[in-house]
Chain A
């Protein structure tokens, strides 16, 4: 009996072995329905867990791989752009998943580096032109240094900062009294002896595959050294933070709880040690880290002393801005964004006391959340443009820098190098256009997703070649994926308006809801968005009456265009263009095809059905995935 039991157990274990060896995971192919404008052909993305990779057609005719947080991708395309998404969940083994994710991750990093090289060559040229201007006696020629704006331009007669003075003493105790001036001399010497850029073929050729070997660019090296020099000047003179470089607010909610204060103090103590060690580091970017670190140290010590959270201004030097007029137009949106930002700050502050020892990421989270909140408030109170940034907020305030060390070379050598760099920059732009140029059919957001999957050399059951079929069209590609790959499941994520409509249909009389919501005049879901073309009826949720409603939209668009002609001198042609676009995007509706869906400038999180867990299909599917062996 016991033998039989053991045999049965063994058999069961052997049966389970293949499943244990190849646990299933899911990669999502996401097809995003069309909307008007540049998105009328639809869009596509690959989703790996919390990340979405997608190729976007950018100004300049380039197609570039983007990586977004999935929630952000869904907010942008599904909510603001109001486009329904269709997800095909492809079941793959864990090694296949990892290989695909890594391939997309590598391609993202490679492209990032390629675009950085374009910027580096441009910066090389600008620096050489600056050096030549200096040689010609133009003392007004300056460059800008990231991170220097926290301390420079130096305020005359300012008192030394206590925190930085203490760091100064610590550095002297560690490395000697003359350590700082000695290191500054070394940096000046290194700057003076820098070899001018002479771009080699490896600097302008973009390899077909693999990480590019462009090397450490001249301009990057020059800036790293000059930034280090600026950082040492701050440390040497214990310069105080500039008033404009930090948020000065007396808001009571920034008062620190005793445990928060202790956590920040402990972090500041460790930071002082890390900054001291930086002076002995051989990493090329130590100067920037020292500058930002000293700015943070000064802010943290002030927080410690005053019991109030003192934050650096963490917005980038050239941020995107939402114009003041738009801020004024959307008071409700600004209120709800402030509430969201306040929640975010609360969550970030909770991290300060949740861990035994906080690190840079915890402090950075508080800094970023605080900056977003204070910026939103300041834009409303001061009636000014709103600075925004979708990327990580790293304090990097810049300042004009005129204390330049011109490399010790002849003017002819400078001119020769400038000519070589200019040629290299042009050649690189050509190579970039060849490598990353957008093509409607052969190189678009679909073809590059499949190309990247192909390059991963994994077996997905079938290969999709968009060059030999209509699979390059986003919505056709979704069918191709469903047919060729092991799609375990398909799910549709309704656009924001459609999801809200479904919700209203469940709670109110459907006919009344449709009559109210079918048009832009009485809709309670859609407020008129100036970015949209002129139209009257939504046609994305109806099929049979689409041509009829489309013809009304066509007439309305033409009417708006006609009305826009006399308004030209007053509105700069906005009405005319909106009317003409409205007419153009009504034409497909006559043939039962809907492209235009309307879009939103802002949707508060609480009314976004996509964040309601009960309406998140991925939650259920992910639970299912976790249940897989």
Chain B
């Protein structure tokens, strides 16, 4: 492990004057290729261990980490979707895909979904009328779900 503490320096564009040799070598390296991965996609270790923050990921054996990752995704998604102004059916359809990426099929019964949607609506700064519409459509009369959306929304205010 090699660690150094550096002091911050200001820098403007064009101040990167490097020895020509280094630049030449760098360009050679770049020309040869970049941004790809060399290890075979089916490398044993890589493929036999989970990579995502889904509930089955080895690194998220603590349920909290997986739940937090799901909450963030649903919140980010809701914020982005609401700002773009898509329809409600499209919203549900994409939400289902995101939930599956986290290993969740029944997102409708997961309380985290509603809190995260509320947070997304709050950070998108939707009006009270829009909040009411989402609460009505998503909770379908279930007060616990409506409450979770409201709580998520209020937490961002």
Contact = CB atoms under 8 A, between A and B. Distances in A.
Interface string B26-65: 1111111111111111111111111111111111110101
Nearest to B30: A41
B36 A68 contact: no
B96 interface: yes
A212 B84 contact: yes
A488 B6 CA distance: 7
A487 interface: yes
A362 B62 CA distance: 10
B38 A376 contact: no
Contact of B36 (A37, A207, A351): A37
Contacts, number: 338
A56 interface: yes
Contacts of A525: none
The CB with the most chain A CB atoms within 10 A, among B34, B54, B102, is that of B34
Contacts of B6: 482, 487, 489-490
Contacts of B140: 282
A376 B110 CA distance: 31
Interface in B78-135: 79-81, 83-87, 89-90, 92-94, 96-98, 100-106, 108-110, 123
A358 B9 CA distance: 52
Contact of B51 (A36, A101, A390, A488): A390
Interface stretch (A104-112, A152-160, A545-553): A104-112
A369 B56 CA distance: 7
Chain A residues touching B, majority SS: mixed
B2 interface: yes
A98 B14 CA distance: 30
A392 B103 contact: yes
Nearest to A616: B1
Nearest to A220: B93
A363 B106 CA distance: 12
Nearest to A64: B35
Contacts of B101: 391-392
A37 B34 CA distance: 8
Interface in A38-94: 38-43, 50-51, 55-58, 63, 67-72, 75-77, 79-81
Contacts of A391: 50-52, 54, 101
A274 B106 contact: yes
Contacts of A210: 80, 83-84
Given A333-B45, A482-B6, A483-B9, A63 B77 contact: no
Contacts of A194: none
Interface of B: 1-6, 8-11, 13-16, 18, 23, 25-61, 63, 65-67, 69, 72-73, 76-77, 79-81, 83-87, 89-90, 92-94, 96-98, 100-106, 108-110, 123, 140
28 contacts: A34-B29, A37-B33, A39-B33, A41-B32, A41-B35, A42-B29, A51-B69, A69-B50, A72-B57, A81-B38, A105-B73, A106-B79, A110-B80, A116-B97, A211-B77, A215-B86, A215-B87, A274-B109, A277-B109, A285-B92, A344-B61, A361-B55, A393-B50, A470-B16, A473-B26, A588-B25, A601-B45, A617-B1
What are the nearest 9 A-B pairs in CB distance?
A41-B34, A38-B36, A368-B56, A392-B54, A388-B47, A445-B35, A37-B38, A361-B55, A392-B103
